[in-house]
Structure 1
Amino acid sequence: MVYVRKNVSKLTRTERRRFVEALLEVKRSGEYDDFVRLHIEHFRGDGDRGLRAAHMTPSFLPWHRRFVLDLENALRRVDDSVTVPYWDWTRDRSATSLPWTDDLLGGNGRPVDRQVMTGPFAYATGNWTLRARITNVEFLTRDLGRSRRPIDLPTRDDLNWALKDPAYDVSPWDSTVSKGFRNKMEGWGSSNNPWRNHNRVHRWVGGAMLGGASVNDPVFWLVHAFVDMQWQRWQRRHRKHRYAPAKPPGRSSTQYRRIVARNEKLPPWDVTPDELEDMSGIYRYG
């Protein structure tokens, strides 16, 4: 049966509570930290050697689609009424709006060290110690809006700028491309505008959301559900265009064996981008 991923602003109080309780149970079991470790392991950039599957690469979108689906399945094993909500950052744009409420994700970090002190994921609750991490900080941190050199969240125009591009991705298939929906959505920009869309949201949240261990902040899932929703919107708008590249780059290419083509396996799963293009039999967005 197809289930619905809701806008976080439309969740009932009961739905909020059940989502939080399922997240806390997955954390207690140790499984949540495995998700953090997996993301850290696959957080590789243009300058790193070897295959890039999760970032700065065409498979950014299918990789995170499968990643969110795996977390959602873990939540639904705890409570099958739960789905991952999405955060529409073009509408809920302040540090006090949803999802930053005490009954959901908690609020901003305190000025002295950016530690989140409110909500169910505050360190003081004893339920959310960061065990898989890239720093020595054990508590969740946020710097909503960035206290130094403040920035704004992406706008609806920023999304439309990405959505109107009919190409999925283009050579050289990395963070430097200026065309293609994938990088416009992922958000690697120019020196004048370095962060767009997804990347800008990570920067706006700040704290734990910066870097490979960003999964430690539960807002990660709400951000990527909204990114996934935009991919579905792009797919409906450009029905004749698909994931690219269709074939892997040849030996003469700088991207040889460094990116995942449409019908190649997407690490760490036994699945291809082609198999992840249509999720209509599993979930839809409401």
Structure 2
Amino acid sequence: MAYVRKDVSTLTAGERRRFVNALLALKRRGEYDEFVRTHIDFYTADGEDGLRSAHMAPSFLPWHRRFLLELERALRRVDSSVTVPYWDWTRNRTTTSVPWTRDLLGGNGRTSDRQVMTGPFAYSAGHWTLKEGITDGRFLTRDLGRSAAPIQLPTTGELRSALDETVYDAWPWDSTVRKGFRNRLEGWGSGSGSASWRNHNRVHRWVGGEMLGGASVNDPVFWLHHAFLDLQWYRWQRAHRSHRYLPAEPPRPGDAQHNRVVARHEKLPPWNETPDQLEDVSRIYRYA
């Protein structure tokens, strides 16, 4: 039977506690840091060589769907009642609303060094020392709302602009494409500043701190954010039933994207599954 992923704002006190405790258990075991390393290893940008499977590519959504499933399976080995909740940032938009509470993810970082000082993931609590990253920092940092140059979380209208796209993705299958659901949701825009950061990307920048780079998994909000994005893919699929993951076939030799993107029936590194196999997960989970 499919289990349920809930809006984090609807979790009971007990559900919040079990979710946090399962995350802390994975951290104690060293399993959590493996997830951080995986995301760093697959954080490949347009300008780099080789296959892009996690970012700036059509497989952004199935890759993170599979990544979420890996984390969720690990959590459920600790506590079978736990699922990954989602953070609806179109509704819970302040620096003190869910999930930034003491019993969930803790709050903003302090002014001096952006170190998170509250909640179970604060360095001072002794349970969440950063061991994998792109810097030598040992403590979780956040800069909610980006204090030096404030930005706002994406609105319902901005999210709707992605959901209204009728095709999943389009050539050249990277961060420069100007149509298609995937990049509208992933959020690579033209220009500079906050106008060029849409949806997914702007949320990462709004949270700041660890969420700004390849080691963003160090902040547990990563999972709540990507669960909400996965829900948007589910909603887009239901609204556009005749449209599927693209490209259906690999780009041919001579195409700049040859061997750089994953086609519908190709294996999605580092797993032995294809985007086609990850399009329907209704037998595994559903959203409340």
Please give the TM-score of this superposition, normalised by the length of structure 1: 1.00
In 2, Cα distance between equivalents of 1:35 and 1:262: 24
Deviation of 1:200 (Å): 0.3
Partner of 1:13: 13
In the alignment, residue 118 of structure 2 is paired with which amino acid? T
After superposition, what is the alpha-carbon deviation per residue over 1:161-189, rounded to whole angstroms, capped at 9, x for unaligned?
00000110000000000100000000001
Deviation of 1:91 (Å): 0.2
Partner of 2:170: 170
Secondary structure in 1 matching 2:14: helix
Partner of 1:214: 216
Partner of 1:254: 256
Describe how 1:198-209 pairs up with structure 2 within 5 A.
198-209=200-211
In 1, Cα distance between equivalents of 2:49 and 2:22: 37
Partner of 1:189: 189
Deviation of 1:194 (Å): 1.1
Partner of 1:284: 286
Deviation of 1:29 (Å): 0.4
Q: Does 1:27 align with 2:27?
A: yes
Deviation of 1:78 (Å): 0.1
After superposition, what is the alpha-carbon deviation per residue over 1:137-179, rounded to whole angstroms, capped at 9, x for unaligned?
1000000000011000001001110000011000000000010
In 2, Cα distance between equivalents of 1:155 and 1:135: 32
In 1, Cα distance between equivalents of 2:62 and 2:124: 36
Partner of 2:234: 232
Deviation of 1:252 (Å): 1.1
Partner of 1:86: 86
In 1, Cα distance between equivalents of 2:64 and 2:72: 12
After superposition, what is the alpha-carbon deviation per residue over 1:23-58, rounded to whole angstroms, capped at 9, x for unaligned?
000010000000000000000100000000000000
Partner of 2:114: 114
Secondary structure in 2 matching 1:203: helix
In the alignment, residue 38 of structure 1 is paired with which amino acid? T
Secondary structure in 1 matching 2:4: strand
Partner of 1:36: 36
In 1, Cα distance between equivalents of 2:46 and 2:196: 15
In the alignment, residue 167 of structure 2 is paired with which amino acid? A
Q: Which runs of 5+ in 2 are unaligned?
A: none
Secondary structure in 1 matching 2:227: helix
Secondary structure in 2 matching 1:182: helix
In the alignment, residue 244 of structure 2 is paired with which amino acid? R
Partner of 1:275: 277
Q: Which moved more, 1:57-66 or 1:187-196?
A: 187-196
In 1, Cα distance between equivalents of 2:137 and 2:12: 33
Identity percentage over the alignment? 70
Size of the aligned set, in residue pairs, is 286
Deviation of 1:279 (Å): 0.7
In 2, Cα distance between equivalents of 1:159 and 1:144: 20
Secondary structure in 2 matching 1:21: helix
Secondary structure in 1 matching 2:229: helix
In 1, Cα distance between equivalents of 2:101 and 2:137: 23
After superposition, what is the alpha-carbon deviation per residue over 1:69-94, rounded to whole angstroms, capped at 9, x for unaligned?
10000000000000000000000000
Runs of 4+ displaced beyond 4 Å = none
In 1, Cα distance between equivalents of 2:274 and 2:19: 29
Q: Which runs of 5+ in 1 are unaligned?
A: none
Secondary structure in 2 matching 1:284: strand
In 1, Cα distance between equivalents of 2:286 and 2:221: 20
